[in-house]
Amino acid sequence: MEEQFSKAYDQYAAGILRHIYFRVSDWNVAQDLTQETFFKAWRNIAPQGSDVKIKSFKAFFYKIASNLIIDYYRSKSRNVLSLEEMEEVYQKEMACEPTQEKEVERVFQRREIEKHLSLLKDEYRQMLIYRYIDDLSIKEIADITGKTPNNVRVIIHRALQALKKKYE
Amino acid sequence: MKDKYIIKALKKLRKTPIRREFLVSLKSDLKEYMSYHPVRGPIKAPITKPSHLIFGRIPLLKALALALIVILVFGGGGAAFASQASLPGEALYPVKTFTEDVQEALTFNLDKKVRLHTEFTKKRISEIEKLLEEKGVEARGLEVAQARLEHHTEMVARAIKKEAERGKEVSSLAALIVDDFYLRREEARKIFEAAKEKIKMQRTELHAQLVIAIEAGDKEQAEEIRSEIARLGLLKDEAEVRKNAAMQALRTQKYTLHGQLKKEKRLEVEARSKAEEIQEAKEKVFEAIEDTQEKMIEETEEVLEETGDILYESGVTPKGEQGSLQGTAQGQPEGINFEEIDAVIEEELSSELLFSEDLEGLLEDIEGLDNAGFDI
């Protein structure tokens, strides 16, 4: 089981870290929550013995991460960063970015979409991150969130429309 | 603004850089945590550390001497001999390291002590090489071997510095050790680079398999291969971090001994350091080029998959049919019958699904085709 868990960590750790970052918009918090995700995952598995079968480590990790993010929101009593906070983060990060023109442009575009993404309500943000950043299938998202596949597709569709409106 | 631009912008966020050192360090912490909280077992310390339950408060030297007597009296010499071939993480390895510690504690002559530690340093490098060959970067004992490597190099430098502080002439010995550290550093660098090279080749093969899986429309297989590529990517980073740690341990002690060297030797060492820095800078450039190539390969694979999805979802290409992506490079997929697609959509729209949530999903499909550039 240790070997399987280690292998699963190697496969999904980067994705989990990125996912959490786009949900909480703070690298330090994302790193803390990523650490907690994997430690918690092991704490759940270890007592069950070496016979325990994990159907999908991916879904398992994403579920734990999602619950930790919800707990984080509750403890911080906020859903998204305010526009002012996002601007602050944006300006700080732009100041550290490389100076080549194309790279700056790419970073600028990335920061723009990140900013708009962070302003969506969490349900929409979560779905878009699962689908287009984490590259999960509709079925996987349905498994993780407990919603029906159709419901997932509708929310994604609505989330895209909401994100489009942010650009207008 | 069309959906496809938003989706494309979102997908680009997949490339958001993350701190890989954090993931490597977290993995190390996690492994340690897992060793203290094994699957359905009592909490136990890893077997790589000596047990204080055996030695209690007895001073280390007395404890080692006592243990040696016990080993010799009860014929444990066989175990000590058998342990010489053991690797970190194996059951007999603590016997091996214990034997070394006893040897070191009972060696008082500086020359012999220093030579003993350089022998141990060579052994550690050899152990690291075997572990990487047999078990890869994930080998459990790598941390132990690297920690002991650091320990030996520190002991050597400390012993020489101590003698220098006593007013003894140590420049020739210091020069010998600095040369030895340089050789060990080169060995460590080559060993870890070979491990990274092996991983890169595995990833290249997997990328080839991924393209085949995408073209065959086998999403499950493609997903599995992607996960494996990601896993190997992290292992490659881990190998790089370990390489840097091993080389740093040897470099640090070189600086400690720098003050004990004669002027000509110091100049020679400095020139060598410059050459090393240039070599490392070159390696970083090659790594950056490889990373860029890797990103381009991944982007091409994504485009292949998106195109395949569109063809499949439009009903043009049944899943699993080979060669379904022919012609996509020219921008206009072959064999698409838009009249067929229109007929399917019209039938769906006129059905009872008109007021259900399924219609939204269907509309999404239509939008997807539209956004992909098909003239619907």
Residue matched to tokens 């400095």: B270
pLDDT score recorded for residue A35: 95
Q: What is the sign, positive or negative, of the torsion defined by CA atoms of B90, B94, B96, B97?
A: positive
Out of B39-43, B186-190, B289-293, least confident range: B39-43
Q: What are phi and psi of B2, to 5 degrees?
A: -75, 155
What was the pLDDT predicted at B334?
A: 47
Instruction: Please give the pLDDT value at position A36.
Output: 94
Q: Residue B115 class from Cβ within 10 Å (0-12 exposed, 13-18 middle, 19+ buried)?
A: middle
- A167 vs B228: CB contact, 8 Å cut-off? no
Confidence of residue B372 (pLDDT cuts 50, 70, 90): low
The percentage of chain B sitting over the pLDDT mark of 70, rounded to a whole number, equals 69
Instruction: Give me the residue label for tokens 């999903």.
Output: B361
Please tell me the distance from the alpha carbon of residue B339 to that of residue B121, in angstroms, as a whole number. Answer: 74
B291 lies within 8 A of chain A by CB: no
Query: What mean pLDDT is predicted for residues B57-84?
Result: 58
Considering only CB atoms, B27 lies closest to which of A9, A15, A50, namely A9
Q: What is the pLDDT of residues B259-272, one digit of tens each?
A: 777 877 888 888 88
Helices B357-371 and B338-349 cross at an angle (nearest 10°) of: 160
Q: The tokens of B297 are what?
A: 């390969």
The closest CB to that of B13, out of A13, A47, A114, belongs to A114
Q: So what's the pLDDT on residue B184? A: 86
**A7: contact with B, CB 8 A cutoff:** yes
Burial class of residue A64, CB neighbours in 10 A (0-12, 13-18, 19+): buried
Q: What is the pLDDT of residues A117-142, one digit of tens each?
A: 888 888 999 999 999 999 888 988 99
Closest Cα in chain A to B356: A150
- Give which of A163, A152, A106 is closest to B2, Cα–Cα: A163
Phi and psi at residue B372, to the nearest 5°:
-80, -5
Indicate the range of A34-38, A76-80, B36-40 predicted with least confidence: A76-80
d(CA A55, CA A52): 10
Mean pLDDT of A135-158: 89
CB B9 within 8 A of CB A109: yes
Count of CB atoms within 10 A of residue B102's CB?
A: 18
Q: What is the pLDDT of residue B53?
A: 44
d(CA B155, CA B151): 6
**pLDDT tens-digit profile of B273-320?**
888 888 888 887 887 788 777 777 877 777 777 677 666 666 665 544
Q: Is the pLDDT of residue A40 over 80?
A: yes
Averaged pLDDT for residues B40-53: 46
Which tokens sit at B192? Answer: 């870890």
pLDDT at B337 over 60: no
CB-CB neighbors (< 8 A) of A128 in chain B: 10
- Per-residue pLDDT, averaged over B154-181, amounts to 83
Q: What is the Cα–Cα distance from B279 to B263, expressed in whole angstroms?
A: 25
How confident is the model at residue B318, as a pLDDT?
52
What number is the average pLDDT over the span A88-103? 52
Which residues does chain B have within 8 Å of residue A109's beta carbon, measured at their own beta carbons? Answer: 9, 12
Mean pLDDT over all residues of chain B?
73
Kindly state the greatest CA–CA separation across chain A: 55
Taking CB atoms and an 8 Å cutoff, what residues of chain B touch A89? Answer: none
* B235 — pLDDT class (breaks 50, 70, 90): confident
List of chain B residues whose C-beta atoms are within 8 Å of the C-beta of residue A13: 23, 26-27, 234
Assess A153–B contact: CB distance below 8 Å, yes or no. Answer: yes
Mean pLDDT for all residues in chain A: 81
Q: Which of residues 94-153 of B touch A (CB under 8 A)?
A: 138
- How confident is the model over B195-211, as pLDDT tens digits? 999 998 999 899 888 88
pLDDT at B78: 61
Residues of chain B contacting A11 with CB distance shorter than 8 Å: 227-228, 230-231
Question: Does the distance separating the beta carbons of A137 and B219 come in below 8 Å?
Answer: yes
What average pLDDT score do residues B119-128 get? 88
Rounded to an integer, the average pLDDT of B141-162 is: 83
H-type alpha helices, B47-141: 52-55, 60-73, 77-82, 93-105, 110-135
- ipTM of the assembly? 0.79
Chain A residues in contact with B20 by the CB 8 A cut-off are 14
The predicted model scores a pTM of 0.59
CA distance A70 to chain B (A): 22
- Kindly report, residue by residue over B81-120, the tens digit of the pLDDT: 666 778 887 878 888 888 888 888 888 888 888 888 888 8
Give me the pLDDT at residue B269, please: 82
Q: What percent of chain A has pLDDT over 90?
A: 31
C-alpha span between B162 and A93 (Å, rounded): 48
pLDDT band at A61 (very low <50, low <70, confident <90, very high): very high
Q: What pLDDT was estimated at residue B325? A: 40
Size of interface A-B (CB pairs under 8 A): 130
pLDDT, position A69: 92
